[in-house]
Amino acid sequence: MPRITEGISLAQLIEGGAEFEINPNDNPDSEEDETEVREAMLSFTNMSCLGSDENYDEEPFRVIGKDMIDLTPDGGVKKRILRPGYGTTPPNLSLVKIDYNAYIEYEAQPFDSTYSRKKKQEFVLNNGEVIPGLDEAVKSMKLTEKSQFLISPQYAYGPLGCLGRVPQNATVLFEIELQEVVNSGATISYEKLEESEKNSFKEVYAYCLSLCERAKDKFRKNVKESLKDYNTAVSKLELVQMKDYSEQEKQQELLLRVLGNVLVCNTVLGNPKKGCCAANRIYQMCKGTTLKISAKTYFSHAKCLRMLGEFVQARAKLEQARKLEPQNPEIANEFITLRREEEKFKKEEKIFSKRSFNQI
């Protein structure tokens, strides 16, 4: 909901020259879904938006604002912490995921709610993807924090309002929970660098770390997209120029980690040949060095070998994984799967041999 058209500046907002749009992905798929969302919004009624008997002669948002601090010099965005978070505030250009309820004055039911839609709002911080007030609000928060924010029109929907939901020149109240932060800032920064700067180890290393964070986040939703980021990181790390042993150490450690994730992705996607290639590259990297091969690498390689019908080799890799993690239940289960598939293959082979013999 609080998304703006690409390329809109704060100056345009203040001048009233911006048009707001609803993210089509936020809209319900049917009238039935929309009714369900509206009914769910009743659960998030906020009576303080209507005012109180004690302060009936004062505007509700003015009363709420008395307990808040200014986040912007002009007081256009105000904040009150409801539940403290932990850690640090999100880095610039990081990918953030939030839940929120959003209200206008004199209406207790939210005009928008991620809780009701059962879908978190996701955006890159300070990248012009949402209303400016939301950027200002979230960049002040810590992980798991829940806070209230009063956002004046110039930082919200301005003189245009928003599609009948938010009136013109309306101050809005957001109650926000910061659920997740993925530091993808280096990815965006790297892509904006001059070509000459993109070759420095410092920039490439930061870029690849950021790619790994983004890929890890994507893995749960789209393994193919996750694999693309990991493969990009492998290419960048293999081509980067290093000036000393310290940089080489960092490059090797990160490359080992990324190749391990490439192996896992290919295993999940059912690409055993590509998975085996990644595993073999890991073994080559670690040979004669202090780098360690993880149980996960042996385990994933064993699964790829099983998929290819290389049962003897698969068992050998599983044994190596079990030596490192003898109590791991996934490894034990894979032994069972391997034995079952090996027996199935032998039965099919006997049937095929018998048929071939009878045809002679």
Strands 121-124 and 95-104: antiparallel
Q: What is the pLDDT of residues 345-354, one digit of tens each?
A: 888 877 776 6
Structure confidence at residue 127 (pLDDT): 86
pLDDT over 90 (residue 98): yes
- Which backbone phi and psi does 182 adopt, to 5 degrees? -120, 115
Tell me the CATH number for domain 10-182. 3.10.50.40
Q: Please give the structure tokens belonging to residue 26.
A: 């936020």
Coil/strand/helix, residue 342:
helix
- Average pLDDT rounded to a whole number, residues 148-175: 93
- Average pLDDT rounded to a whole number, residues 157-172: 90
Q: Please give the structure tokens belonging to residue 298.
A: 């042996």
- Average pLDDT rounded to a whole number, residues 327-339: 95
Structure confidence at residue 354 (pLDDT): 66
pLDDT over 90 (residue 284): yes
Coil/strand/helix, residue 79:
strand
pLDDT over 60 (residue 15): no
- Average pLDDT rounded to a whole number, residues 102-114: 92
Structure confidence at residue 2 (pLDDT): 67
CB 124 within 8 A of CB 3: no
Structure confidence at residue 331 (pLDDT): 95
Beta bridge partners of residue 150, listed in sequence order: 78, 173
CB 2 within 8 A of CB 128: no
Q: What is the per-residue burial (b if ≥16 Cβ within 10 Å, else e) of 166-199?
A: bbeebbbbbbbbbbebbbbbbbbebeeeeeeeee
Structure confidence at residue 278 (pLDDT): 96
Q: What is the pLDDT of residues 24-71, one digit of tens each?
A: 344 444 555 677 777 777 888 888 888 766 656 688 999 999 999 999
Q: In the chain, pLDDT over 70 holds for what percent of residues?
A: 84
Coil/strand/helix, residue 69:
strand
Q: What is the pLDDT of residues 216-254, one digit of tens each?
A: 888 988 999 999 999 999 999 999 989 999 999 999 999
Q: How confident is the model at residue 300 (pLDDT cuts 50, 70, 90)?
A: very high
CB 181 within 8 A of CB 206: no
- Which backbone phi and psi does 6 adopt, to 5 degrees? -60, 140
Q: Check residue 241 and report its DSSP letter.
A: -
